[in-house]
Every structure is written in structure tokens, then in C-alpha cells.
């Protein structure tokens, strides 16, 4: 299960990583977009690639409430086991996706390698993307006790304002497709960050294609948490 990456204390690690990167001479001498690319490429696999360091810039500004804290104790172990199974299932169904277990959450990165991708300046969910998302939706149906966060991103082509709108449209297009296939809208939250969270080098065509992406975070909902606490005797 080599593409499922486990991250512990990811937020603290991300902060340390960003601090260390911003003190590197190569980053100091870069412009803002280059800095974002350097930091994003190194730390993009962390939770920072989803919530970044600019919560509230895009979307509804409520990511902190959606992400929530980490469940500890016996309940946390039970939840972790359930999330492990979901992560494994997603990896089996969509081998091109990057699947990461971060604390008690799952983060899925969709780009051209996974079959969910966007052309430059486009936000439509094309036929290939629909086929891949349908596989993920099947997992959502199999594991209903989760909430889902969809986050849109762009490459650096165009101005900041247009890219913020474009990332919003991408996130909403994916959210609307998921809910259109019968997944309850109450499970989903949508957010977007424009070009501010690159994970690859925006100076290359390949890097830009990977930055035109959506990330999906899967989180335990209240029912999963309450059930786990009851099962572990903590409720």
C-alpha cells in the first residue's frame, strides 16, 4: 500500500517545514509565485496542501470548524482503523490518485494521473473525470459516516482574482457532481484557494497541469465519533 502516506502531528511538521524552507537561500531569492511553488512542492503532501496557511481567503472561511480536532484514546484507534480501510479502498479503486492518511482524516489528490483533471481555464467535469469520481462515490456510499471537503486549485496562469473564481468553479463542479449522484449535500463542504497552494512547479507545463486539481478530504462525522466512543466505553 505504498501510496497511502501516514502523517502524524502534520500541522506542527508543516509549520516547521515551511519555516525551514523560507530560510533557504534559493527560496529567499525567489519571487512570491516561485516561493509558493518551492514550499508547495516540498510540503504539498501535508495537511497544509488542503487548508494551507491562508484559511478564510477562499470559500466560506470555515475550514477550521470542518477539519476539527483529532480524536484520541480508544475511540481514536477505532476511527483510525475505519479510515485506514476507506483509504485502502480508494487506493484500490483509483490507483492513480494520491491517498494520504493524515491524523484521523483521508486526503485524496486528484490530477491528470488519477483521471480527474482540468484543462487550462476550464472547470467542467469531463467524461474521464466523471468515471473516476463515480468510483470514489461508491466508496462514499460504502462508508456513509463521513463528511467530505472538496477544495479547488489552479495553476499560476492568469491573475489572482480570476484564478480564485476558477478554483471556486472547479470545487463547485466536483461537489455538484458528487451530490448529483445521490450523496447527501449535508456531508459536503466546498472551498477554494486559487493559485496560492501549488504542489508542483508552475514554470513547466507538466507542473501546471498537476496544479489544476481538486483535493478531497474525508473526515469522521459525529455519528462515527459517537459510535466509536460508545464502542470503546468512552461515552
Question: DSSP of 8-30, one letter per residue?
Answer: SSHHHHHHHHHHHHHTSHHHHTS
Is 114's pLDDT higher than 60? yes
Q: Report pLDDT for 182.
A: 96
Is 19's pLDDT higher than 90? no
Task: For residue 96, count CB atoms less than 10 angstroms from its CB and return exposed for 0-12, middle for 13-18, buried for 19 or more.
Answer: middle
Pull the grid cell for residue 176: 455538484
Quickly list H helices, 143-186: 160-180
Q: Which domains does the chain carry?
A: 4-231 (3.30.1330.60)
What's the average model confidence in pLDDT over 101-128? 88
What's the average model confidence in pLDDT over 175-191? 95
Q: Report pLDDT for 68.
A: 62
User: What is the side-by-side strand order in the sheet with 214-220?
Assistant: 4-7, 98-102, 105-110, 214-220, 146-152, 188-192
Strands 188-192 and 146-152: parallel
Is 105's pLDDT higher than 50? yes
Please choose, from the candidates 91, 214, 90, the residue with its C-alpha nearest in 3D space to the C-alpha of residue 149: 214
- Decide: pTM greater than 0.85: no
Pull the grid cell for residue 114: 488519477
What's the average model confidence in pLDDT over 197-222? 91
Contact 44, 213 (CB under 8 A): no
CA–CA gap between residue 175 and residue 30 (Å, rounded): 35
Q: Report pLDDT for 8.
A: 39
Q: Report pLDDT for 93.
A: 94
Amino acid at each position: 500500500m505504498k501510496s497511502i502516506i501516514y502523517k502524524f502531528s502534520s500541522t506542527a511538521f508543516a509549520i516547521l517545514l515551511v519555516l525551514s524552507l523560507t530560510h533557504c537561500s534559493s527560496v529567499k531569492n525567489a519571487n512570491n509565485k516561485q516561493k509558493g511553488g518551492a514550499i508547495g512542492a516540498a510540503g504539498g503532501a501535508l495537511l497544509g496542501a488542503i487548508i494551507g496557511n491562508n484559511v478564510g481567503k477562499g470559500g466560506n472561511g470555515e475550514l477550521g470548524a470542518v477539519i476539527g480536532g483529532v480524536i484520541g484514546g480508544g475511540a481514536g484507534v477505532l476511527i483510525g482503523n475505519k479510515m485506514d480501510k476507506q483509504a485502502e479502498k480508494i487506493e484500490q479503486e483509483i490507483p492513480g490518485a494520491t491517498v494520504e492518511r493524515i491524523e484521523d482524516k483521508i486526503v485524496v489528490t486528484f490530477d491528470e494521473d488519477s483521471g480527474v483533471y482540468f484543462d487550462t481555464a476550464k472547470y467542467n467535469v469531463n467524461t474521464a473525470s466523471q468515471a473516476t469520481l463515480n468510483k470514489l462515490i461508491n466508496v462514499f456510499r460504502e462508508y456513509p459516516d463521513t463528511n467530505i471537503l472538496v477544495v479547488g486549485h489552479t495553476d499560476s496562469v492568469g491573475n489572482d482574482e480570476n484564478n480564485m473564481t476558477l478554483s471556486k468553479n472547479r470545487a463547485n463542479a466536483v461537489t455538484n457532481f458528487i451530490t448529483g449522484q445521490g450523496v447527501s449535500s449535508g456531508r459536503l463542504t466546498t472551498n477554494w484557494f486559487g493559485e496560492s497552494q501549488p504542489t508542483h512547479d508552475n514554470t513547466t507545463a507538466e507542473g501546471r497541469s498537476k496544479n489544476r486539481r481538486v483535493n478531497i478530504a474525508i473526515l469522521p462525522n459525529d455519528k462515527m465519533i459517537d459510535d466509536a466512543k460508545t464502542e470503546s466505553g468512552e461515552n
